[in-house]
Amino acid sequence: MICEKRSKGKSDEALFFDLALEDLTRAADLFQPIYDRTDGVDGWVSLEVSPLLAYDPASTLGAAKELHVRAGRPNLFIKIPGTQEGLPAIEEAVFAGVPVNVTLLFSREHYLAAAEAFMRGIERRIDAGLKPDIASVASVFVSRWDSAVVTSCPPSSDLDSALPWPSVPTKRTAVC
């Protein structure tokens, strides 16, 4: 399949997105019953716009819309970076009806800025007479926060005993 697409002149990035969309639309189809059963609360998959567009809000928005249309699945989030440059694309994508998974959130301030962009998109939908039911999630990079506080945490905690499954041993058992 890759060789066939390559022989048709697909660039590396175009080839990647063709393959990613094939995989993720199949995954979205597998999760569709969960999505339906939970009224869209669960059963989602995500596909990220090209990182090459990270500093170009207009191109990020264009790619998000295109991927959303090409996927044609209600349970496929389009990942858009929650960077300063990504915020306008988040607002516009939400306004356009694209479900968004906001990534690259490393602080409370990043999260709040992304939430405000989401809300501006929803408010604009309402003002335009459109339904405000556009799904969004914010993927906060907890591992970065873990690293920032690991030296201030005790070497272990009672968290392991509270988990319903065995935890994986790490340098620090829990982050406080």
Active site members: 79
Beta bridge partners of 137: 101
Residue 150 CA to residue 155 CA, distance in Å, equals 9
CA distances from 18 to 1, 2, 79, 97 (A): 11, 10, 16, 22
**Residue 65: CB atoms within 10 Å:** 18
